Amino acid sequence: MIIRMSEIPPEGMRFLGEEQSSILDLENEKDISVNGPLYYDLYAQVAPGELIVRGSVGVEMSFRCSRCGEVFQTKVKDGAFVAVREAGMDESVDLTEEIREAIILTFPNYPVCKVDCKGLCVQCGVSLNREKCNCRKREENVWTVLDGLKLK
Ligand SMILES: [Zn+2]
Ligand SMILES: [Zn+2]
In the reported structure, the alpha carbon of residue 112 is separated from the centroid of ligand 1 by a whole-number distance in angstroms of 5
In the reported structure, the alpha carbon of residue 146 is separated from the centroid of ligand 2 by a whole-number distance in angstroms of 21
In the reported structure, the alpha carbon of residue 130 is separated from the centroid of ligand 2 by a whole-number distance in angstroms of 12
In the reported structure, the alpha carbon of residue 117 is separated from the centroid of ligand 1 by a whole-number distance in angstroms of 5
* Residue of 22 and 73 predicted with greater confidence: 73
pLDDT band, residue 135 (cuts 50/70/90): confident
In the reported structure, the alpha carbon of residue 13 is separated from the centroid of ligand 1 by a whole-number distance in angstroms of 41
Q: What residue spans of the chain are helical by DSSP H?
A: 96-105, 135-151
In the reported structure, the alpha carbon of residue 28 is separated from the centroid of ligand 1 by a whole-number distance in angstroms of 23
Q: Which residues contact 127 (CB under 8 A, 6 or more apart)?
A: 68, 69, 70, 118, 119, 120
**Confidence at residue 66, expressed as pLDDT on a 0 to 100 scale:** 94
How does pLDDT run across 79-107, given as a tens digit for each residue?
999 999 999 999 999 999 999 999 999 99
Say what the alpha-carbon torsion angle 31, 73, 61, 76 is, to the nearest 10 degrees: -120
In the reported structure, the alpha carbon of residue 103 is separated from the centroid of ligand 1 by a whole-number distance in angstroms of 22
pLDDT band, residue 113 (cuts 50/70/90): very high
How does pLDDT run across 6-32, given as a tens digit for each residue?
999 999 999 999 999 888 888 888 889
Number of the ligand closest to the Cα of 67: 1
Q: 18-32, 46-60, 101-115, 125-139: lowest mean pLDDT where? A: 125-139
**Confidence at residue 76, expressed as pLDDT on a 0 to 100 scale:** 95
Say what the alpha-carbon torsion angle 38, 74, 54, 28 is, to the nearest 10 degrees: -50
- pTM recorded for the entire structure: 0.79
